[in-house]
Amino acid sequence: MGWKVEHVQLNGAATRMVAHRATPIGGTTALLMFPERRLVIATMSNVSRAEGVAPFGVKVAEVFAQLR
């Protein structure tokens, strides 16, 4: 299992994101963790190699980050 560590913008602030993305047969998944914000987002699609699954997860994280 491979993990990628990167920084993304959440509500205008650089935020560390630890992510794993996968394309199992028949689907696409992304597990996004934002440790400093104590936030985890899992996104999935039932389409192989679907585009935008992880970016959609970041958009969901932005909504939850605004609530804190």
Domain extent listing, the chain: 4-67
pLDDT of residue 9: 94
For 12, which DSSP code?
T
pLDDT of residue 68: 67
Any idea of the CA torsion for 57, 1, 6, 24, to the nearest 10 degrees?
Answer: -30
Q: How far is residue 58 CA from its own chain's centroid?
A: 5
Kindly calculate the radius of gyration of the chain based on its CA atoms and give it in whole angstroms.
12
**Residues 19-65: pLDDT tens digits?**
999 998 899 999 999 999 999 999 999 998 899 999 999 999 999 99
